[in-house]
Amino acid sequence: MPKHPPLPVLAVAVAATLLLSGCVTVSTEGATATSVPTATPSPSVPDDMTMRVPPADWECGQLSALSGILYRSAWEHTEGLIDDAEYASRVAAVQDAWAYMPLGKSGVTPALREVQQAAPDGLTYDNVEYARAIDAANAACDAAGSIVGIGALPGQGG
């Protein structure tokens, strides 16, 4: 049986994806070089710096990533490649990712907000609200021109 990353590793990977997704921009305008070695100061943030609002394609990319994790994890669980505890930990990590995912103000944002609200009650089609919300979010991304894509593992046709 292959070894899979434990929940903390998976949680860090999801958090890193969210942090590295480009939600913050730092300007280096006006920075000057100095030849005198000095201690590294804390980076300063310009007064006019604000969080950028995630666009629809970023939001749909997050939907793709989280849906892909669930799809692949469910398949691995069904195939006996991960046990119940490993599967439950992945689902819990995705539920946390939904809970804390920053949303924008795009045309897909309302549909994703519905997914966020339904996710705590379960991430399967047994949760009717989640099923309706995830289908609506997929349709909203498609309508916005950002098709949701889910990658398959080897053995799943990937």
With respect to residue 121, please indicate whether it lies within any of the assigned structural domains: yes
64-85 pLDDT, tens per residue?
A: 999 999 999 999 999 999 999 9
With respect to residue 38, please indicate whether it lies within any of the assigned structural domains: no
With respect to residue 125, please indicate whether it lies within any of the assigned structural domains: yes
pLDDT at 46 over 80: no
Computed over every residue of the chain, the mean pLDDT equals: 77
With respect to residue 16, please indicate whether it lies within any of the assigned structural domains: no
Average pLDDT over residues 35-50: 48
pLDDT band at 4; cut points 50, 70, 90: low
Q: How many CB atoms lie within 10 A of CB 134?
A: 25
Q: How many CB atoms lie within 10 A of CB 99?
A: 11
With respect to residue 118, please indicate whether it lies within any of the assigned structural domains: yes
0.85 exceeded by pTM: no
Tell me how many domains the chain contains. 1
Cα distance between residue 65 and residue 70, in whole Å: 9
Q: What is the DSSP string of 102-156?
A: ---SSTTHHHHHHHHHHGGG-SSTTSHHHHHHHHHHHHHHHHTT-----PPPTTT
With respect to residue 7, please indicate whether it lies within any of the assigned structural domains: no
Dihedral-angle region of residue 102 (phi above 0 means left; psi in -120 to 50 means alpha; beta otherwise): beta
Angle 124-121-10 (CA atoms, 0-180°, nearest 5)? 70
Q: Which domain holds residue 60?
A: 56-146
